[in-house]
Structure 1
Amino acid sequence: MEEVFVRAGSTDSLSGGTQYVSKTFFQHPLYNTVTSDYDVGYVRLPRRMTIDGQSTKRTALVARNTAVPAGRNVTVSGWGATAENGDTSDTLMAVQVQIVSNEDCRKSYGNTITSRMFCAGVPEGGKDSCQGDSGGPVVFSSNTQQVGVVSFGIGCARKGTPGVYTNLANPQIRRWIRLNTRA
């Protein structure tokens, strides 16, 4: 595997904060490259990350089996493209979207949507995660608990086509995280 760069404590992808370089990445053993089911992994950093409570803070994961109800607002952040087929951003971006029921999400993606996933977007389009955001956090807007990880989508911010996220409240996903990390 190539090196993974992690920048903490900065909203600029090119400078500021602390950069960690790792060659150690773990992917869920059941990850399906066709359906993106079990799309979760973690990077082992070469040294402990400094948490100062201001520019770097801990984010709690949601409790196992936490409801991920349709209509609830979540915030997605990343340095990905700001438009479909666009360039990635050097500045950390964030957008608030609403969770969509898996039933409604299946209208766009069919039966590939599992209990280990949830979808979020806005019906009129215009807000979404995009290429380059994959692996980024999805947090409940009300309490900043991390509920998901950016997984995939059809294009970016298209009307009627929400983004798909790995559901960190799912017991199978949480068990793997707990067994392999200190979370």
Structure 2
Amino acid sequence: MSSQATPAVSALSSPEPRPPLTAVAPVVAEAPEPRELTARALGVGLLIGGLLAVTNVYMGLKTGWWESGSITAAVLGFSALATVSRRRGVPYTPLENNMTQSAASSVGAMPAAAGLLGALPALAMLGVSVPGWGVAAWSVALGALGVLAAHLVRKRLVAEEALPFPTGIATAELITLMHAPSQAEAERSARRGWR
């Protein structure tokens, strides 16, 4: 048995130099990075958010209700940027659409977070005047606190427990459907041999 193992060992430990192994990397076409955080997505999101903020102040003071506007912002953002993007040849991606609606709903919800729908009008009715810089500082502090709180609870509520967020799920489904190719586009691509 030892005589059979010896030739195998001697073949492995032969003093002959061997050529170095070279790694061959596969040739893969690089896909462009998906566009997400762009100036146009944030700009349109801020404009839509400003419109939502104004309407939320009016609706909140009249009825006591306000709406975050996620679905509204997704539709308005898609309407504003998808057609312009097709003409310019730069696609408006679902990730950009999500960024647009996130920025818009954040700005649109700020009046409620800043107290413009309840606390400040109540103080005004009592005769207490709050300076504009105080409202602005309060809003900035609450915005920063909201981002910090969201960061702290995200892992627990979203990643670990996977809690359902109905508005977020509905908005994601809407964005997916808006960016899906139409039947005519799918047929055109099939005729050309594309997928």
Name the TM-score class by shorter chain: under 0.3
Q: TM-score under structure 2 normalisation?
A: 0.22
Task: For CA contacts below 8 A with separation 6 or more, give which structure has more relative contact order.
Answer: 2
More strand by share: 1
Higher helix share: 2
- What TM-score results when the alignment is normalised by the length of structure 1? 0.23
- Determine which structure has more spread, i.e. the larger CA radius of gyration: 2
